[in-house]
């Protein structure tokens, strides 16, 4: 099977699964919940304003695939000086109590000579078994690939779970979390807990913070379980974008990001996965890149608070970029 940027498709695999699925069809915007067929694959952009489902049959991928791309997109790259200025500006906003937290992102450009992108996708699955992995082509956004460790919502038959994930550092033997990372994680956890309480009378949060490994990166995680018997899309639209990818207060952070970042986030920090009337398994679209004919554009970001140090924030984005760059070497 040969696929290109002229096709509309998604190929995906769930964490710790050997199965790879494909849906080839056409992407359509969800204008209201009645537009959404049962058992749908959906994705959203960062803001959540545009949510798409792909109309087509889900099939287990059993044939060899080649994927090529002739699109010559150019994305805006944030240089070190621009990043530093914006980081200082966001830290100042946090110090003045206008914000508790805001995510600052940038794009890392990597030139490539790939003629077929499917082998890169296979390396992503094999190297990052913990992640939800995908490669897709959409007429509006182009071709994207990613492997996310972060669940937005997962569950079935009224029993659901989600996680608060924040803080990042290189994985090592003796990981110590500083107050800045612990504060970041607390902002995310508190926000998620408050939203879930609006939709469920039975929200249980894990008391212990867990350090998890996602490739070569460590994160702080806490988990929530809850019972829920209402519109999954309404809950998702209230949760997203969480402070893990946007900031607090959400509306203020969203406006500042949109106004000040020189690039458009597009699908980065959106969500992606499968949903039906009673079931859902959706992931936040992190560790992802946009693919053009000659370049990979890797989207990376980190949380800014009043305790942030600009040098450390830049280094965090470098570590996150390495997750994707190692696939391309």
> Per-domain residue ranges for the chain?
2-328
Nearest to 149 by CA among 303, 297, 11, 284: 284
Q: Which two tokens stand for residue 180?
A: 């800045």
**pLDDT tens readout for residues 188-206:** 999 999 999 999 999 998 8
Taking a C-beta distance cutoff of 8 angstroms, is the pair 281, 187 a contact?
no
CA 229 centroid distance within chain = 26
**pLDDT tens readout for residues 140-184:** 999 999 999 899 999 998 999 999 988 888 888 788 888 888 888
Taking a C-beta distance cutoff of 8 angstroms, is the pair 244, 188 a contact?
yes
Task: Output DSSP code: residue 33.
Answer: G
* 2-328: CATH topology: Anthranilate synthase (3.60.120)
Low-confidence ranges of the chain (pLDDT < 50): none
Instruction: Tell me the whole-structure pTM to 2 decimals.
Output: 0.94
Cα gap 326→110, rounded to integer Å: 11
Q: What is the pLDDT of residue 110?
A: 94
Cα gap 133→269, rounded to integer Å: 14
Q: What is the pLDDT of residue 282?
A: 97
Taking a C-beta distance cutoff of 8 angstroms, is the pair 5, 143 a contact?
yes
In terms of Cβ atoms closer than 10 Å to its own Cβ (0-12, 13-18, 19+), residue 136 is buried
Backbone angles phi, psi at 35, to 5 degrees: -70, -20
Q: Which SS3 state, helix, strand or coil, does residue 51 take?
A: strand
In sequence order, what DSSP letters do the residues of 290-306 get, joined into one string? EE-SSEEEEEEEEEE-T
Q: What pairs with residue 304 in β-bridges?
A: 102
Q: What is the pLDDT of residue 278?
A: 84
Q: Which SS3 state, helix, strand or coil, does residue 14 take?
A: coil
Q: Which long-range contacts (CB under 8 A, 24 or more apart) does 232-237 make?
A: 232/153, 232/275, 232/280, 233/30, 233/33, 233/36, 233/51, 233/275, 234/199, 235/153, 235/195, 235/199, 236/152, 236/153, 236/271, 236/280, 236/282, 237/48
């Amino acid at each position: 099977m040969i696929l290109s940027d002229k096709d509309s498709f998604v190929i995906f695999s769930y964490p710790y699964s050997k199965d790879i699925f494909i849906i080839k069809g056409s992407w359509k915007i969800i204008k209201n919940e009645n537009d959404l067929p049962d058992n749908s694959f959906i994705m959203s952009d960062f803001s959540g304003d545009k949510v798409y489902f792909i109309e087509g049959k889900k099939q287990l991928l059993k044939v060899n695939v080649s994927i090529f791309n002739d699109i010559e997109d150019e994305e805006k790259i944030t240089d070190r000086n621009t990043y530093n200025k914006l980081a200082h500006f966001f830290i100042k906003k946090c110090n003045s109590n206008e914000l508790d937290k805001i995510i600052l992102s940038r794009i890392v450009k990597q030139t490539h000579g790939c003629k077929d992108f499917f082998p890169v996708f296979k390396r992503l699955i094999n190297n990052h078994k913990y992640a939800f992995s995908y490669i897709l082509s959409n007429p509006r956004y182009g071709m994207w690939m990613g492997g996310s460790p972060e669940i937005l919502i997962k569950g079935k038959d009224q029993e659901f779970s989600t996680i608060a994930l924040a803080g990042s550092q290189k994985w090592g033997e003796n990981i110590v979390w500083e107050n800045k990372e612990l504060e970041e994680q607390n902002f995310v956890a508190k926000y998620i807990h408050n939203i879930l309480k609006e939709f469920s009378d039975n929200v249980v949060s894990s008391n212990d913070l867990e350090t998890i490994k996602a490739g070569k990166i460590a994160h702080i995680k806490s988990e929530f379980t809850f019972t829920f018997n209402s519109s999954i899309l309404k809950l998702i639209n209230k949760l997203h974008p969480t402070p893990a990818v946007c900031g607090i207060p959400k509306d203020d952070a969203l406006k500042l990001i949109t106004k000040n970042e020189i690039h458009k986030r597009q699908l980065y920090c959106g969500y992606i996965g499968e949903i039906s009337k009673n079931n859902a398994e959706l992931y936040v679209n992190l560790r992802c890149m946009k693919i053009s004919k000659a370049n990979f554009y890797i989207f990376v970001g980190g949380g800014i608070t009043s305790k942030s140090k600009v040098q450390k924030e830049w280094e965090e984005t470098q570590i996150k970029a390495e997750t994707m760059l190692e696939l391309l070497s």
